[in-house]
Amino acid sequence: MKKYTDIHDIKNINETIKEAIEIKKAPFNYKNLGTNKTLVMLFFNASLRTRLSTEKAAKNLGMDVICLQINNSWNLEFDDGTIMNLNTSEHIKEAAKVIAQYADIIAVRAFPTLSDKDKDNAEIIIESFSKYAKIPVVNLESSTAHPLQALADAITINEFSAKAKPKVVLSWAPHPKALPQSVANSFVTMMQELPVDLTITHPEGYELNTDITKNSTVSYNQEEALKDADFVYVKNWSSYSNYGKILSQDNNWMITQKKLNNAKFMHCLPVRRNVVVEDAVLDSENSIVINQANNRTYAAQIVLKKILENLNG
Ligand code: AN0
Ligand code: CP
């Protein structure tokens, strides 16, 4: 694997899920693979799971890890030809090339603006790192995607699935802040690659990018969508058509124990209790959110392993 900015960078997803489950059984088996290799992680935004699980994964493979919270660094310019006499101190052309002197792999978290749709869709930040650093880039959640989360979610569904083709429902939930579509986008893209029966449910106006949802089933009726679900993945996102806007905070969309029935509850975390989902669900046996968080390590580890194998030739 040359990079992991997109789910489709994985050649065989079902095979990769199985490999990740194998690595989970013996996480230190490839301790020599990352010797004398450095992962630099750059965070433009907050993180708990991604920051810790990716570092853990890299260390399991014997890598060195350097982490930089980019707001403690210089403000970067991404536009070409700008007269940089305002807020930005350093251009991405220099910054990316400099980081590549210290890193063998760069991992970047950069959330969308949620105000400039074209800029967000162009994935300016992650694409600029790829373009100028010329070393493998790993997406730690970008403007439109969170592919490591989706891989961890796929591993978790595989582990908990009792059926050959489980019914998986992605349900929108209310949230007081405008959030990216990234997690939902990557989850949908991943589910489309797996043997699952996917239904997406959200209020009108919350349609995801149709280039992503393609022919997936979409329903505005949550109750109907949740019927006979095996896995219910809950996530808020802001409107894509009315870009970045909060159109509804209708708490009838919150997930309750009654709505969940016997399905497994999934969420990428962090989650707002009693806004997105009621306490009873998170505190029940049906919640597998901690298993998902644990699998973030093995998702990152299988991805880094494949990139290192490619680097080592
Ligand atoms: C972010 C989001 O929705 O994309 C990160 C989730 C992993 N969530 C929040 O900012 C609450
Ligand atoms: N799920 C996830 O990516 O969590 P963090 O934002 O804490 O990294």
pLDDT in tens, 114-150: 999 999 999 999 999 999 999 999 999 999 999 999 9
Q: Which residue has the tokens 């708490």?
A: 251
Quote the Cα angle for 37-38-41, to 5°: 150
Rounded mean pLDDT for each run of 10 residues along the chain, 313 residues in total: 98 98 98 98 98 98 97 94 97 98 98 98 98 98 98 98 97 98 99 98 98 98 98 98 96 97 98 98 98 99 98 92
Question: Rounded to 5, what percent of the chain is helix, strand, coil?
Answer: 40, 15, 45
What residue ranges define each of the domains in the chain, with the CATH number in brackets? Answer: 7-145+295-312 (3.40.50.1370), 148-292 (3.40.50.1370)
pTM of the model: 0.98
Number of Cβ within a 10 Å radius of residue 138: 25
Q: List, in sequence order, every residue forming a beta bridge with 168; answer none if it has no partner.
A: 198, 231
Q: Which two tokens stand for residue 310?
A: 């490619």
Q: List, in sequence order, every residue forming a beta bridge with 139; answer none if it has no partner.
A: 108
Cα 231 to ligand 2 centroid, rounded to whole Å? 20
Closest CA to ligand 1's atom 4: 180
Q: Say whether 38 sits in a helix, a strand or coil.
A: strand
Q: Say whether 239 sits in a helix, a strand or coil.
A: coil
Q: Is the CB of 183 under 6 A from ligand 1?
A: yes
Q: Which ligand is nearest to the CA of 271?
A: 1
Cα 298 to ligand 2 centroid, rounded to whole Å? 15
Closest CA to ligand 1's atom 9: 179
- Which of 308, 269, 255 shows the shortest CA–CA distance to 1? 308
For 71-92, the pLDDT digits (tens) are: 889 999 999 999 999 999 999 9
Quote the Cα angle for 55-312-32, to 5°: 55
pLDDT at site 191 = 98
- Give the burial class of 221: count Cβ atoms within 10 A of its Cβ; 0-12 exposed, 13-18 middle, 19 or more buried: exposed
- Which of 234, 214, 238 shows the shortest CA–CA distance to 225? 234
**Structural contact between residues 229 and 263, judged by C-beta atoms closer than 8 angstroms:** yes
Cα 28 to ligand 1 centroid, rounded to whole Å? 30
Q: Which two tokens stand for residue 272?
A: 């707002």
How many CA within 13 A on the CB side of residue 123? 18
